[in-house]
Structure 1
Amino acid sequence: MQSKTERQRELYDKFKNANGGLYLSENQIGDAEAQIIAEALKVNTTATSLDLSENQIGDAGAQAIAEALKVNKTLFWLNLHQNQIGDAGAHAIAEALRVNKTLKELSLAQNQIGDAGAQAIAEALKVNKTLTLLNLIVNQIGDAGARAIVDTLKVNETVTSLHLHDNLIGDAGAQAIADALKVNKTLSWLNLIDNQIGDAGAQAIAEALKVNKMVKTLSLSENQIGDIGAQAIAEALMVNKQLWWLDLKCNCIGDAGFQAIGEARQVNRTLAHLLIDKQINPLAFSLLPRMSTAEDLHDVFHLLTSEPAVEDQSAALPALPTEIAELILDEAHYWQGVQHTKRQWFQYHSPECILKVTLPQGVNGNAIRVKEIHVLRGNRSDSVNDTGFELIVQDEQGAVRYECSVKPTLVDSSLELVTIVPASHLVIRQMRAGWQVQVRPSKFHYNVVFESLYVGYV
């Protein structure tokens, strides 16, 4: 077997002299190998595309690649999809984008980039004049990160495709996006699938569509848009003449929303593709614990352990001992971080249909602690089968540590939910970064609209 040093030498030689595309997806490349590749890219003058997706590159590897981007003059496509890059790595790549003049398409999808990393990239795009496609799907970007990115769109004149699928963007972020769309003159493809956008966000985007002249593809599926949001979008379709593709499936649109969209289509002659099937029971969106920031937790802890300053002291609750306050917070239903996935096509024996969530590294290398595992199943109306969920927990080596069948709580005629907590499943206390939770598809998959797996942690 080749030693690590030999492999590094081979990588360097391969990348130093490579011509055209370099493809090393799923090659067990970590930070050390990424640093070797980066050194080779500094002297390579012919490589045009680099695929390092589905590896184990972290912040250190991303920082090395960023340094190479500052001097490389030929690379126009870079794919770092599904690695372990966090805010520090994103910040380094952002600094490279300030000076790089050739990169046109960048994918940082399925990493661990939060608002801070998104804000750094946004600032870089204010001066970058070449990037046309930015893919940030399946990260941890919330409203603050979304606001920063779309503020950039008010001045950036090159980005035509922006993919923010599967982040944590809510109505506030959607409203900021809408404000940018009113003035942006280049963005033609906007992907906001699987966020937390409700009616207010949809209404704001609809108002923007009345004046925007560029967006041709808009994806809003798997959000929380109801009839009010759908009616607002329908009103926009009455006057918008540019939109060609609109995806609204897997929201919670009812008859009133369907009717409004249908009437708008009778008037609109440019919308060629409308996806609006598989609407979800709106109760599904209220079943999961709320996300909390470190600041939220600090504020609550302070309230629990401090004497409140009120005029009527007889009505005030006493301050709690620290250990009691910590116990309350530990038992409270909140998450600071969440990894989740969803499936909408099913074949019971197919391994591709198994829901999988892998626990990430904690912030700054700190350990994470799993609080809850939630599995949510949406069925076709009145077709709940109460078959349970088949749960598997694997460690970082792929060894099965736990396997069980869990009965759901029947929440509604079309929804099934199970909540798995450490008190009833002790293996949860052992879980750490690199461990994976799996859920097999329902045996009655032909009745299922969607299944979602959430792993919440602090």
Structure 2
Amino acid sequence: MSSDDESSGNESSDNESGSSYTGSSDTGSSENESSDSESEDNESVSTRATIVEELKTNTRLTTLGVCNLDDAGLQEVAEALKANTTLTKIGLQNNQIGDAGARAIAETLKVNTTLTQVYLHANQIGDVGARAFAETLKVNTTLISLNLPRNCISKAGVQAIDEARKVNSTQMVLASSAQMHPLVLCLHPRLATAEDVQTVLCLLTCGTELDEQPSLVLPALPVELAERITDEATHWQGVLRTKRLRFDADTPAHVLKATVPRSINANPIRVKAIQVLRDRKSCHNSDSTGSTGAFDVIVRDEHGAVRHECTVKPTFVESTLEFMSISPADHPIIRQMREGWEVQVRRSAFALDLHFESLYVGYTTI
């Protein structure tokens, strides 16, 4: 049985909150945001370890919701679930789970017959993960609900799961609507850490011996040229926020926004780019209102005062994908931005034609 409804209970706010791993007796969810905060990462790992240990010995909880979870985190949780015989429902929605995490939970479902409801909507699962679930459903006959909307699964991936259900005649409900364009994940920038950036610059400017041929040394480049190379490769630190719900809402709580964080090494922050990626339900030039893809971008300073406001029109990428990027060369306001400044993407005329939107602010601290 297929369904386009997400029967996961309460949805989270679309402007994602940076919460740590939490366990609860409900499948309540909290969308997460990419962050460069090391303290948040450490707290998340610590809390995740606690949940993993409790899952191994749990004899009370039947429902669990976990947030701020990536592939590595889910692999640990999935391993612990193999030995758990109490939990029947798990909410893993609104996380950063990709194919590796999906494969891990799919393997768990081959041996865990207690879990009957698994919610994985609004993640980053593609066809590889879908095929893993298809293989699982050939042997698992106890799962009654698999929730996968708003991932990156193609029609072929959904069909593979459907075919697998027919093999064992399961009556499992599959929710799989509103899938993102597969290129969404490819077009997202890689978020480098301060250490990553420093390591690359050191390799470029200090001269480095090649491991295979110690007698050969890479030439040391001038700092200006090294920075140009990292800029061309967009190898920056950054803040990435995503939105998958309530695109027609324009209240402060629902506006897609990103704040330039505080520098952790006391060096001034230099913003390198503001980028917006959007995936629409229909092709870029055929929305129901006949409007263009233009939308407003607002830049506020640390006191909330509007320092710049402009209307931008994204570039067509492919099919339903649109992309917009503003660099220091495009507008001087980028050079003025510093910690505490905020970028907002306002509601557009074709908001109801969206099912994914992301905002990225890339920066360096050197």
Please give the TM-score of this superposition, normalised by the length of structure 2.
Answer: 0.75
Equivalent-residue separation in structure 1 for 2:177 and 2:41 (angstroms): 32
CA deviations 1:23-67 (Å, max 9, x no partner) are: xxxxxxxxxxxxxxxxxxxxxxxxxxxxxxx9xxxxxxxxxxxxx
Q: Does 1:263 align with 2:166?
A: no
Q: Residue 213 and residue 367 in structure 1: after superposition, are their counterparts in 2 closer, same or farther (change >3 A)?
A: farther
The structural deviation recorded for 1:440 is 1.8
The structural deviation recorded for 1:286 is 0.8
Q: Does 1:117 align with 2:43?
A: yes
Equivalent-residue separation in structure 1 for 2:195 and 2:117 (angstroms): 37
Higher relative contact order (CA 8 A, sep 6+): 2
Equivalent-residue separation in structure 1 for 2:122 and 2:363 (angstroms): 22
Equivalent-residue separation in structure 1 for 2:268 and 2:312 (angstroms): 27
Q: Residue 355 and residue 228 in structure 1: after superposition, are their counterparts in 2 closer, same or farther (change >3 A)?
A: same
Name the structure 2 match of 1:344: 245
Q: Residue 263 and residue 380 in structure 1: after superposition, are their counterparts in 2 closer, same or farther (change >3 A)?
A: same
Aligned-partner SS, 1:334: coil
Equivalent-residue separation in structure 2 for 1:187 and 1:428 (angstroms): 49
Equivalent-residue separation in structure 2 for 1:231 and 1:332 (angstroms): 33
Aligned-partner SS, 1:333: coil
Q: Does 1:236 align with 2:142?
A: no
Name the structure 1 match of 2:316: 410
Equivalent-residue separation in structure 2 for 1:321 and 1:372 (angstroms): 23
Q: Write the letter of the residue equivalent to 1:377.
A: R
Which is richer in helix?
1
CA deviations 1:232-269 (Å, max 9, x no partner) are: 21232343344344221122222222212223444464
The structural deviation recorded for 1:412 is 0.5
Cα RMSD, aligned residues only: 3.8
**Residue 150 of structure 2, aligned match among 226, 247, 250:** 250
Aligned-partner SS, 1:210: helix
8 Å contact kept, 1:384–1:413: no
8 Å contact kept, 2:124–2:185: yes
8 Å contact kept, 2:25–2:65: no
Aligned-partner SS, 2:111: coil
Q: Does 1:387 align with 2:271?
A: no
The structural deviation recorded for 1:152 is 6.0
Equivalent-residue separation in structure 2 for 1:307 and 1:110 (angstroms): 39
Equivalent-residue separation in structure 2 for 1:244 and 1:450 (angstroms): 28
Name the structure 1 match of 2:188: 288
**Residue 444 of structure 1, aligned match among 333, 350, 354:** 350
Q: Residue 347 and residue 367 in structure 1: after superposition, are their counterparts in 2 closer, same or farther (change >3 A)?
A: same
Name the structure 2 match of 1:24: none
Equivalent-residue separation in structure 1 for 2:206 and 2:308 (angstroms): 42
Q: Tell me, which stretches of 5 or more residues in structure 2 are unaligned?
A: 1-12, 287-291
Q: Residue 162 and residue 351 in structure 1: after superposition, are their counterparts in 2 closer, same or farther (change >3 A)?
A: closer
Aligned-partner SS, 2:104: helix
Name the structure 2 match of 1:33: none
8 Å contact kept, 1:348–1:442: no
CA deviations 1:284-333 (Å, max 9, x no partner) are: 11112212233322332232123333587997541123454345435541
8 Å contact kept, 1:227–1:254: yes
Q: Residue 365 and residue 151 in structure 1: after superposition, are their counterparts in 2 closer, same or farther (change >3 A)?
A: farther
Name the structure 2 match of 1:161: 64
The structural deviation recorded for 1:402 is 0.9
**Residue 276 of structure 1, aligned match among 152, 176, 193:** 176
Q: Does 1:329 align with 2:233?
A: no
* Equivalences for residues 4-153 of structure 1 within 5 A: 114-122=40-48, 125=50, 150=52, 153=55
Equivalent-residue separation in structure 1 for 2:88 and 2:238 (angstroms): 32
Name the structure 2 match of 1:132: none
The structural deviation recorded for 1:371 is 3.1
State the aligned residue count: 336
Q: Residue 404 and residue 360 in structure 1: after superposition, are their counterparts in 2 closer, same or farther (change >3 A)?
A: same
Equivalent-residue separation in structure 1 for 2:46 and 2:125 (angstroms): 30
Query: Sequence identity, in percent?
Result: 48
Larger Rg: 1
**Residue 399 of structure 1, aligned match among 275, 300, 305:** 305
8 Å contact kept, 2:98–2:126: yes
Equivalent-residue separation in structure 1 for 2:295 and 2:30 (angstroms): 32
Equivalent-residue separation in structure 1 for 2:224 and 2:284 (angstroms): 46
8 Å contact kept, 1:182–1:211: yes
Equivalent-residue separation in structure 1 for 2:55 and 2:104 (angstroms): 16
The structural deviation recorded for 1:104 is 8.6
The structural deviation recorded for 1:403 is 0.4
8 Å contact kept, 1:341–1:357: no
Aligned-partner SS, 2:199: helix
Equivalent-residue separation in structure 2 for 1:378 and 1:183 (angstroms): 39
Q: Residue 402 and residue 318 in structure 1: after superposition, are their counterparts in 2 closer, same or farther (change >3 A)?
A: same
CA deviations 1:207-239 (Å, max 9, x no partner) are: 111112343442322333222321221232343
8 Å contact kept, 1:122–1:152: no
Q: Residue 312 and residue 223 in structure 1: after superposition, are their counterparts in 2 closer, same or farther (change >3 A)?
A: same
Equivalent-residue separation in structure 1 for 2:260 and 2:330 (angstroms): 20
The structural deviation recorded for 1:408 is 1.0
8 Å contact kept, 1:384–1:415: no
